[in-house]
């Protein structure tokens, strides 16, 4: 499967930098927000190409948006797809620097 460079930047939206994601990095796992239509093979190829690492596994999940109130009106945040990427031993991603 060949993914274009533009599609790779659409697939990987941003790294998720949270306390939980920081703890996962000790186990060579990194979390990214990805587009809703992205497949696991697309995510794998995008991470391998953009960060020049070897991906061992990709797990995805869809986080449903919360219902929130804004000025008394009920609204809903957008749903978000997350990808947890496991890298091969010896590989690492510095998410604090840009691509």
- pLDDT, position 99: 58
Give the predicted TM-score (pTM) of the model. 0.86
Mean pLDDT score of the chain? 91
Q: Average pLDDT in the 57-84 region?
A: 95
Tokens of 17: 């930098």
Q: Using one digit for the tens of pLDDT, what is the confidence trace for 30-54?
A: 999 999 999 999 999 999 999 999 9
Count the alpha carbons within 13 Å of 32 in the hemisphere toward its beta carbon. Answer: 28
CA-closest candidate to residue 65, choices 73, 55, 75: 75
Alpha carbons 26 and 46: distance in angstroms, whole number = 22
CB atoms within 10 A of CB 97: 6
């Amino acid at each position: 499967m060949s993914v274009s460079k533009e599609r790779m930047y659409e697939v990987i939206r941003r790294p998720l930098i949270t306390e939980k994601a920081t703890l996962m990095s000790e186990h060579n796992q990194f979390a990214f927000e990805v587009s809703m239509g992205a497949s696991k093979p697309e995510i794998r190829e995008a991470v391998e190409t953009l960060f020049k690492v070897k991906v061992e596994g990709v797990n995805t999940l869809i986080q449903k948006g919360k219902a929130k109130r804004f000025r008394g009106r009920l609204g809903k945040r957008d749903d978000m797809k997350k990808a947890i990427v496991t890298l091969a031993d010896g590989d690492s991603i510095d998410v604090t620097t840009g691509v």
